[in-house]
A and B are shown apart, each in its own frame.
Chain A
Amino acid sequence: AQKITQTQPGMFVQEKEAVTLDCTYDTSDQSYGLFWYKQPSSGEMIFLIYQGSYDEQNATEGRYSLNFQKARKSANLVISASQLGDSAMYFCAMREADTGNQFYFGTGTSLTVIP
């Protein structure tokens, strides 16, 4: 089974609107971390936000927030007030603290912000 699943290969959003990028994960660990990265067309990977499995509140970083639903094993990224510069690939990733040291990445969602 896939550790990280991103079911939206491509998304479009109007500038200044909010958008949700979906991510579901699969783990039997009790302690794990969830991450979102942005990859613009220039290629670099930019860390956006982190959520720990024991964190009770959803993580927020500026216009980014993580909608963490532990029982459903989902960690959706919400981008508010989309900007043209948000157009990029977005990757969800997970690190299992109890088993191994790997990071698992999803296949990514390509977000296009329309002016």
Chain B
Amino acid sequence: DSGVTQTPKHLITATGQRVTLRCSPRSGDLSVYWYQQSLDQGLQFLIQYYNGEERAKGNILERFSAQQFPDLHSELNLSSLELGDSALYFCASSPRTSGSYNEQFFGPGTRLTVL
């Protein structure tokens, strides 16, 4: 158990809908990262927050947004869902935001299926 929690574990929804994925980092970790893992794309970095502020942006679509709250939990919002958004969404946390040694601890993931 990494100490990172993600809810829900599974989510099934329809095209055009909006969903919210939730992540609670390990106690004391200030950085939260979101990743999308699909079969054909591998593990893609989406976005990073550090202590409530956006720090890095990867291949995140405009239909997706995220935020980190004062209690450090984070939410990833996916809207106007398409079939291709079906994937495993990981949240990871780390204590720091910079430096080469910045081990990330991954949550169990949320499996999103868009029908």
Q: How far is the CB of B71 from chain A (nearest CB, A)?
A: 22
A35 within 8 A of B: yes
The number of residues on chain B lying at the interface, defined by a beta carbon within 8 Å of a beta carbon of chain A, is: 28
The number of residues on chain A lying at the interface, defined by a beta carbon within 8 Å of a beta carbon of chain B, is: 26
Which of B56, B90, B101 is in CB contact (< 8 Å) with A101? B56
> Whole-angstrom distance between the alpha carbons of A86 and B2 in the complex?
19
* Nearest A residue (CB) for B102: A95
Q: How far is the CB of B112 from chain A (nearest CB, A)?
A: 13
Q: Which B residues are closer than 8 A to A by beta carbons? A: 2, 33, 35, 42-45, 48, 50, 55-56, 58, 88, 90, 92, 97-106, 108-109, 111
20 additional A-B pairs beyond A33-B102, A35-B103, A100-B56, beta carbons within 8 Å, are: A32-B100, A33-B101, A37-B106, A43-B109, A43-B111, A45-B109, A46-B106, A47-B105, A52-B101, A91-B43, A95-B100, A101-B55, A101-B56, A101-B97, A102-B48, A103-B45, A104-B45, A105-B42, A105-B45, A108-B43
